[in-house]
Structure formats: C-alpha cells, structure tokens
A and B are shown apart, each in its own frame.
Chain A
Amino acid sequence: MEPQVRREVVFAETPEEVWRALTEPARLEEWFANDVELTPERGGCGVFRWDDGSVRVAAVEEVEPARRFVFRWHEEGRDHEATRVELVLDEAPAGTRLTVVETAPAGLRASALAGEWSWGVELLAALPRIHRLARAAA
C-alpha cells in the first residue's frame, strides 16, 4: 500500500447533486476556493485561487459523471510534486457516499520506505502516538 489519505463521508444529496458541487466552477466557488476554473473532462485543467494568494493547479485524468473524478494537483510554489486525488461517489442507504483518496507523491514514497508499505498501515496509524511519546521523553 502506498501512503495515502482516505476519507469517506455520506451526504443526504443525490450523486448528481454532489457531483455538481465537486465539478462545476460556480459551485466550487461557494465552498472550495474563491476563484475556480475547471474543465471536468479527461485532459482538462483546473486552477483554484484563494484570497490569501495561494493557487492550486490540477490536471484531470479520469471522469465518469456522478461516479468518479480523478486528477493530479499541486500547490503553486510549494509542492514540488503533484499528488493524485480520486473522488468516488456511490449510493449509500442515506444518500451518497463520497470517498476521497489522495496518494502521497512518488518522491515521498521513495524517501520513506522504498515501496515497502504492505506492512505499514498499523505503523502509520500509530505515528501520532509515537511522536507524542518521543516528545514527552525528550
């Protein structure tokens, strides 16, 4: 397993409604960034700007309307390498489940453990605790 961040949330809205909130620039400007340009199609580009001057640039890789949206993005001037984000929508009993998976950049993976991640889930979960322990001991 590669190091990744994963979140799952359920919204009461339909997959179509959640999809529009995730992919239509005017809607994204209501909750995600102050200024949004996005072409939600394979090979399309996205530029997200915030009032504090930060900018994120995205390249769209896969689009299945109301189902799956995959892009790579990075923060301008800060991240040296883009990360991959996969947004998946599926129906849940109470509405729509959104699953977000952001995968660590390849450089980070290489510098960390040379791809040896099948064993690491437990360790990653424990890291915050290990940090606290180390700080307490210092």
Chain B
Amino acid sequence: MPPPDVFDALADPHRRALIGFLAAHETATAGELAQQLPVTRQAAAKHLETLHAAGLVERRRAGREVRYQLTPAPLADVSEWISKVGAEWDDRLDSLRRYLER
C-alpha cells in the first residue's frame, strides 16, 4: 500500500503531466520538466519536490546535471498485476488458437 502522499502527489494535473513526460523520456532535468508546464520555474520545482517527497521520482547526478527519473515502487502492485494477467491471457489465447486450428 503506497503512502497517502502518493495520492496527493498525483491529484494535481501539472504533476501528472510531469510524470507523463518522464514516462515518455526516461530522464529529464528540472529545466526540461519546467518547460512542460505553463507555470513558473519555481512552481514547477515545487511540483517536482512534491513528487520526490512522495517517492515517485528520484534524482541522479549525471556530470554537472541533476536528472530526474520515475521510480516504479509506488506503482509496483499495478505493474505486477498487469504483467502477470497479461501473460496469462497470452498463454490462454495461444492454447485457444491451437485448439481451434487443429
């Protein structure tokens, strides 16, 4: 069960936009992320801090830059369920096809 601040962190559309951008780009700097939002750089930094505090993103130093990336832990239960159930249906549908074609 993720901590309650995960819910708060994800309740805001700007923060969800940051998550969406990180999901598509793997890593980004605070500046790149701020450009995604129609808000000031300071406001963007605050959103990023909220996501960080909720354990949804982490910071890594890469040379002189600090890059942000998503951490999967708060979403691990959904991710696991989707991979497990998806693999089960792939197997079942393969068996069904073999049965129908024989």
A7 to B94, CA, bound (A): 12
Q: In the assembled complex, which residues on chain B have CB atoms less than 8 Å from the CB atom of A122?
A: 20, 23-24
CB pair B89–A102 under 8 Å, yes or no, is yes
Interface residues of B (CB under 8 A from A): 1-2, 6-7, 10-11, 13, 16, 19-20, 23-24, 26, 60, 69-72, 75, 77-79, 81-83, 85-86, 89-90, 92-93, 95-101
Q: Are A124 and B100 closer than 8 Å at their CB atoms?
A: no
Q: Which residue of A lies closest to B7 (CB)?
A: A114
Chain A interface residue count: which class?
35 or more
Given contact pairs A12-B101, A127-B72, a sample of 7 additional A-B residue pairs in the complex whose CB atoms are under 8 Å apart: A108-B78, A123-B20, A124-B78, A124-B82, A125-B23, A128-B79, A130-B26
Q: What is A's interface to B at a CB cutoff of 8 Å?
A: 3, 5, 7, 9, 11-13, 17-18, 21-22, 27, 30-32, 83, 98, 100, 102, 104, 108, 111-114, 116, 119, 122-131, 133-134, 137
**How long is the Cα–Cα vector from A100 to B91 in the complex, in angstroms?**
13
- Interface pair B81/A108, CB less than 8 Å apart: yes
- Contact status A7-B79, CB under 8 Å: no
Q: A9-B97, A111-B77, A126-B24 are in contact. Are A134 and B71 (CB under 8 A)?
A: yes
Contact A3 B72 (CB under 8 A): no
User: Is there contact, CB below 8 Å, between A131 and B79?
Assistant: yes
A123-B19, A130-B23 given; A104·B100 CB < 8 A? no
Identify the closest chain A residue to B74 (Cβ). Answer: A112
CA distance A13 to B97 in the complex (A): 10
